[in-house]
Chains A and B, each alone.
Chain A
């Protein structure tokens, strides 16, 4: 069935890096744009980054520009989010989602905690 599974979260000190992965099954990510969305503890949803289906376009929320990079590996049917120079305020559950107008398929999320 159509599914997304994130991994790569953890506890990291401010200024360090993490790379999140999102493995897709049941569909091919090369045919869809993809998103990363995060949710800080007890807060609402915040869009983070998107990649178009043809990788011609990349988008980032202002607070992560220059620090985060979205990418994908078609051979592994996997989406990535490279997060550098992490800040305390980046702590959140990070979800990947399929882009079909609305976000119709979501993963279960992976938790990132940035703390000294």
Chain B
């Protein structure tokens, strides 16, 4: 099973900040990688798939990058609606696996 490790667990930031979230895969997942955002009481929402590709309707301030087994989600200027929990996921191998999540909270 591929283990996805997200860091940090919690990030305290202010609106307007540039935010970087990290996720490491325990083995190669190629670009079969996604980021999701989840707000309280809501279903997850796909932000990024294929490691780099924004999903339909996702603002340009969200971007994904990768280097080997290290993946990064960058929010260029955090908006109030971006406070949420973010999950990474690999879909290269079965079983599909998610990271433990990073909570982005207001400083």
Contacts and interface: CB of A to CB of B under 8 A. Distances in A.
Interface of A: 35, 37, 44-47, 50, 59, 61-62, 95, 100-104, 106-109
A108 to B, nearest CB: 6
10 contacts: A44-B98, A45-B44, A50-B96, A61-B95, A101-B34, A102-B46, A102-B49, A102-B55, A104-B49, A106-B46
A40 to B, nearest CB: 12
From B56, B94, B95, B101, residue with most partner A Cβ within 10 Å = B95
Per DSSP, are chain B's interface residues mostly helix, strand or loop, or mixed? loop
A104 B55 contact: yes
B50 interface: yes
Interface string B84-104: 000101010011111111000
Contact of B44 (A61, A100, A106): A106
B54 to A, nearest CB: 11
Given A102-B34, A103-B36, 5 more contacts: A47-B95, A50-B94, A102-B49, A107-B43, A108-B42
Contacts of A45: 36, 38, 44, 87, 89, 98, 101
Interface string B44-67: 111011100001100000000000
B106 to A, nearest CB: 20
A44 B101 contact: yes
Contacts of A59: 94-96
Given A45-B87, A101-B50, A102-B48, A95 B43 contact: yes
A101 B97 CA distance: 13
A101 B43 contact: no
Contact of A95 (B44, B50, B94, B101): B44
